[in-house]
A and B are shown apart, each in its own frame.
With several copies, the nearest count.
Chain A
């Protein structure tokens, strides 16, 4: 198993949580959507077990899955479930996430319908004036194929349609956010945690917020997963349990993500 190599634990079965200490390193890699929350989990968990170190690197959902399968990391983070082809791995949901449609803060648009977004992304609508904005060419920011955020967006918004070839492709949420932040003509989709400095648009008149995601009125919501090998080490196990615990889910809510429904 991947955990044995890098993280050691002196925990015995049956002992109570207080007495257990974990040490070593837990390595995480993967989705940039999960990054903000994964780091917060890590900080809180490292506070509890000072001898333990948790590292995180980005790279996208697939990278996370691949590296976990290869054993270079203990936990892969993904904004999608493992595919059938990616055997020997288990996906454990740790949070949920809304995918926000974002535009530049100076864009006067106040909201869009899902159909409008669909048409924008398929290239049917190419000017902001067609949806009530300025007379300005729309620049469509998308993600590379394989990205969990894109999987979610494609399946809920585009359905079977394919994205216009003129759409820019970015490798991460951050890149899309930076782009939109500076580009008055841009529209993009990012994980809820990445909406600072940009304007998240209401969809079908529903505000994009934790609350609306939580109650199911906002349409684009997905689950975020930690992926591990089938038998994770004790330290990893404890960490995963911590993430799914009430305490963990509070961190989720505090950091702009949507807690799991228990």
Chain B
């Protein structure tokens, strides 16, 4: 039968697509590890992770300052961006009048599309001088990078969590309100838990953007190899390091392996972060 054939074809196309894509994606991970593990071998795992000196001339690659820089930047930005974004999303879905939502939502979608270089650009010509003037030189700093990331990730997190929040069935809301809960209690006890998995996805996406952002950070963080002691110190992240050096790295060199090594560490970050989120979300379901 014709209908049957279409069904079968669709099934196999879908299966095929999914399978091939997953294969490619596994390939990518393999590729990264394949190149990056050499960095651990060539430098020694300990030296690579805890060495403080990254020098092409010495052929020594210690990524500690980068790792610390990345952690500061990511954690710092997400600690602000996640709650703020969720607040905005809650505001838009549950409090703002309909017409406001109709205006704000397209703005958010627009902001999602602003290229990160543009954020970097703004950071460079506006934020960095501002910081330099008011908080002291050099302006290029952790603070600038974190601020840029916050601005970059908010639209993404808002957009995704707003969708999830809106998908929470009205009947849950009704149930809670009818039992005498205030709007806020309903949001807190019913809507947010029901939207939890989507919100966590949103935050994961946001963190992904934050951890993975390279160019915008590169433009404002100063890229010094020192471990920053305060928010206005310059710093360097794993990604900005890759961006800064990738063009000079020769294929097959210890240098490029070290850069891939940075990639692996980034992946581990993402992995650890995702696992934490996942655990948190499981926990919530019980409570």
Contact = CB atoms under 8 A, between A and B. Distances in A.
Interface in B230-287: 234, 236, 244-245, 247-251
Contact of A169 (B129, B223, B247): B223
A186 B55 CA distance: 23
A147 B245 CA distance: 10
Contacts of A58: 244-245, 247-248
Contact of A179 (B52, B140, B225): B140
Interface string A64-107: 00100011100000000000010000000000000000000000
Contacts of A166: 224-226, 234
B226 to A, nearest CB: 4
Given A55-B225, A145-B55, A72 B248 contact: no
Interface string B48-86: 000011011110000001000000000000000000000
Interface in A167-192: 167-175, 177-179, 181-186
A165 B132 CA distance: 20
Contacts of B234: 72, 166, 168
A141 B41 CA distance: 33
Which of A154, A164, A183, A184: most chain B Cβ within 10 A? A183
Given A43-B57, A162-B57, A168-B223, A70 B248 contact: no
B184 to A, nearest CB: 46
B222 interface: yes
A43 to B, nearest CB: 5
Contact of A165 (B138, B140, B225): B225
B247 A59 contact: yes
Interface stretch (A15-23, A34-42, A238-246): A34-42
A145 B225 contact: no
A174 B256 CA distance: 12
Given A165-B225, A178-B251, A184-B137, A144 B132 contact: no
Contacts, number: 132
B138 A144 contact: no
A182 B124 CA distance: 11
A63 interface: yes
A169 B58 contact: no
B206 interface: no
Contact of B137 (A139, A170, A172, A177): A139
B224 A55 contact: yes
A7 interface: no
Contact of A186 (B137, B224, B248, B251): B137
Contact of A71 (B56, B138, B218, B226): B138
A42 to B, nearest CB: 7
A122 interface: no
A78 B55 CA distance: 20
A162 B58 contact: yes
Nearest to B60: A162
Nearest to B52: A165
Contacts of A199: none
A70 B141 CA distance: 13
B137 A185 contact: yes
Nearest to A136: B137
A172 B248 contact: yes
Contacts of A145: 55-57, 245, 248
Nearest to A66: B247
Most buried by A among B58, B222, B248: B248
A42 B244 CA distance: 19
A146 interface: yes
B139 interface: yes
Contact of B248 (A32, A168, A181): A32
Nearest to B251: A178
- Most chain-A CB neighbours within 10 Å: which of B234, B236, B249? B234
B57 A174 contact: no
A51 interface: no
A60 interface: yes
Contact of B58 (A43, A179, A183): A43
A5 B136 CA distance: 11
Contacts of A147: 248
B140 A168 contact: yes
A137 B223 CA distance: 18
Q: What 6 A-B pairs come out closest when comparing CB atoms?
A: A146-B248, A39-B57, A185-B137, A172-B247, A139-B138, A174-B248
Interface of B: 52-53, 55-58, 65, 124, 128-129, 132, 136-140, 218, 222-226, 234, 236, 244-245, 247-251
Interface of A: 5, 25, 27, 29, 32, 35, 39-40, 42-43, 55-60, 62-63, 66, 70-72, 85, 136-137, 139, 144-147, 154, 162, 164-175, 177-179, 181-186, 197
14 contacts: A43-B58, A63-B247, A63-B248, A70-B138, A72-B139, A144-B245, A146-B247, A162-B58, A169-B222, A169-B244, A171-B244, A174-B249, A179-B140, A183-B137
